[in-house]
Amino acid sequence: MLFANLNNLVIVPPRAFANTANMPPLIYSPQTKMFLTATTAEIKALQKIQKQTAGQDDQPAERYWLTYYKSLKNSRPELQKFILHCFSFVPAKIKNNSDPYNMSISFFGDSKCNLKCLYCFNRNISPAKEKPFSLHFAADVLESIYKQAHQTIAMIDFNYSGEPLLFFDKYKKLWALNQKIAKKYKKTPANMGIVTNGLLLNDKIIDWLRKHNCWLGLSLDGGAEYTNAGRGEKTFERAIANYQKIFARPEWTNERSVHATISGLNPDVSRVFTELWDTGFRQIYIKPLRSETDQPYALNKKNLPKVLKGYRKLFALLAEDIAQGRLERLLSICNRFDYAGKFLGRIMINRSVIRRCGGGYGMCSVRNNGDAYPCDTYAGRKRNKLGNIYKRVNWDKNLAPPVDELESCRFCKYRYLCGGPCPVWRDINNGDISVECAFNKALITECFRLAALIEQYPQEKKLIHEHFRYHL
């Protein structure tokens, strides 16, 4: 498969950012992770070969590339080296992003909420029909995992269980249980934390979370207009009034985190980001909504250009920051929880993935009757049940199979950055991945451009690298 390395070259055209008007085009090899600036004539020649060899078998395609390599003679040693590297490429260590020994557990909790968001993940679940969350049950789950010699738990949360502050007493007891059971089996206790809509947040809760080293994130979708569009009037104002208690504490300065879901109701990502930054958040995690494309709030082919335009605007803003030696805003998205940040990080620190996620493998969501699901976004979809922890769980390692096994992705040049489509988003849309795939490709392309721009600022690049090594 040698030629694939060259046919997958990404051409990064000069950027329209004000400060990069004279920047030459770049070529990038996703597999070898090498960048090289090229001339317009070279770009044309590379594109021509890509066109000629598209869809061909390895051998004839390889011949085209070698002919071009030889034609360069000694006039362009860097480009020759670049091509040679692609031919002699040995895959770098690929991160298997579904480590079975590094589990994360999402409990379903009491499944109650004090809001009625239009796009709630659990809108099809009737809390009345759910078993209430019990600590005996949680103890069973934790025991069953911690007691296995090779197994540990990285993270425990209640991400899609409704509003966790409605059952905060149980949360506190679960925290103690987690410590106790981990200690019993001489394991490091899983990290715990809460993502809340903020309406019940008070000083007592904040003090407790701080004292017990739990993380705290707020869930908002931008400023007042965007947040209230999906969550109801004055939700933003009420949440922020409580969250001021966090802003007022210097010890939380770098941990003011917020989770925003991009949907058809708030498609302007740049505005979402700016409003959240201006409100005072310093860790901003933006993700697309996984939903049926025919829902009024869904991301779909019609509003996708708006979302991408928003990303371009946001990246232009971040590019200007970099040119001025300011990195705070960029670093606020440089982590594995932000959808774009994750792609940018993989590009910048050469990290490839072989599958989309660890859903149903390293990660699972458990409902209160013991039913296990591949991840919390799946937890409302009974037909995707993996089994029951009291009986048998069929760990479906193929829920997110290696991207090379997916017909839709096998030849995609971005596959080791993307990992393939989100299985739940695909299933919700009866196998149609076109919206997500177009989104991923366009966003990865934008991330390449931003990464190429960062290349021009070695000091800033070094700092961003360091940050990603820790946060990706």
Question: Which residues here bind ligand SF4, judged by CB under 6 A?
Answer: 290, 356-357, 359, 375, 377, 400, 403, 408-409, 412, 414-415, 418, 420-424, 433, 437, 440-441
Q: Shortest Cβ distance from residue 415 to ligand SF4 (Å)?
A: 4
Nearer to ligand SF4, 390 or 411 (CB): 411
CB of 423 to ligand SF4, least distance (A): 4
Instruction: Report, in Å, the least distance between residue 287 CB and ligand SF4.
Output: 9
- When the beta carbons of 242 and 429 are compared against ligand SF4, the nearer one is 429
Q: Which is nearer to ligand SF4, 94 or 241 (CB)?
A: 94
| SS3 per residue for the chain | CHHHHHHCCEEECCCCCHHHCCCCCEEEECCCCEEEECCHHHHHHHHHHHHHHCCCCHHHHHHHHHHHHHHCCCCCHHHHHHHHHHHCCCCCCCECCCCCCEEEEEECCCCCCCCCCCCCCCCCCCHHHCCCCCHHHHHHHHHHHHCCCCCEEEEEECCCCCCHHHHHHHHHHHHHHHHHHHHHCCCCCCEEEEEECCCCCCHHHHHHHHHCCCEEEEECCCCHHHHHHHHCCCHHHHHHHHHHHHHCCHHHHHHCEEEEEECCCCCCHHHHHHHHHHHCCCEEEEEECCCCCCCCCCCCCCCHHHHHHHHHHHHHHHHHHHHCCCCHHHHCCCCCCCHHHHHHHHHHCCCCECCCCCECCCEEEECCCCEEECCCCCCCCHHHCCEECCCCECCCCCCCCCHHHCCCCCCCCCHHHHCCCCHHHHHHCCCCCHHHHHHHHHHHHHHHHHHHHHHCCHHHHHHHHHHHHHHC
Q: Which is nearer to ligand SF4, 230 or 423 (CB)?
A: 423
Nearer to ligand SF4, 187 or 290 (CB): 290
Q: Which is nearer to ligand SF4, 259 or 415 (CB)?
A: 415
CB of 443 to ligand SF4, least distance (A): 9
Least Å distance, CB 379 to ligand SF4, is 10
State the nearest-atom distance from the C-beta of 399 to ligand SF4, in Å.
Answer: 7
Could you tell me the smallest distance in angstroms from the CB atom of residue 427 to ligand SF4?
Answer: 9
Nearer to ligand SF4, 190 or 433 (CB): 433
**311 versus 414: smaller Cβ distance to ligand SF4:** 414
Tell the smallest beta-carbon distance from residue 419 to ligand SF4 (Å). Answer: 7
